[in-house]
Structure 1
């Protein structure tokens, strides 16, 4: 089923009973049957105003069933300018990675998302997001898939050219702490991209864009 903060073990005190969305339950049931996986890491709602599309979840997220449940998630929430409660509210943010399942370990870290997963399943979900105002693409897998020929030659060039994709989309580097060297080499990211990102997020949440 769709996993979100309200159905996770660490749910905030006072949160209401999780809302169920039958149309999404049906899609996720299909992904489980066709991919032979037990559970998915994703969080959408028909009322989601923002969708965050990143790479496949890591093992920590898969084990906890909470997406972005790590230092990368903490940094991402800082970049977005949202609280944990806002981040895990599916009516505000849909969390839809390029693969809903941990792909396993490879020779040099986690394996990449399966190339056919987003092509098969994302359109069925996005069709249901009738309130969507902003798409945030995190990392090269999401950017190459969604921007296609509009993506630049490198991730850095794509992120820096964020103006080219506004107002519907904005691209980010992955917020992993391991990317601190990239951020130190590209100070424009904090100076230009993050303020623009926060304005877009607030406008999407408030419905003013």
Structure 2
């Protein structure tokens, strides 16, 4: 019996060595896999961090742009510009030719407060005193003018804007005809007058 145990001892030792090697290899493989997983997670965290930083940068840029737009909207020049637009285009579009105080010539004369001669030529005829309507015409703005600043074209005290107008007109008591005009205007901050007014066209509704 002892002899058999003695003979089997080397085999047992070999089996134990194989078992230990297997267990050790598994341990080291597991440790290696854990290290790889850890490295992968660290890389993913770095990518996520970089992505978040980029998104935050984009949000900051967007916030700055919004602030710039708000600052422009609150620019003091907009108040006199808005007042001038409302006053001038009311004289151009709000009228009743049956009223002798609302002739083309008289409306043009009142408009000299808001535009230079060159500017007025874009909305009134040069021979306004000779314009005599043959039928009664009633015109009105249907809503306040819409003003769109185009600051990229501003030069010094000259501010450029687009003005969109919706109006309706009745000729000889007929049904109202509606339409809209778009004007490109240049406004001088110092004189508070329009120096140029260009009709860009009408789009029928």
Give TM-score, length-normalised by structure 2: 0.23
More strand by share: 2
Q: Larger helix proportion, structure 1 or 2? A: 2
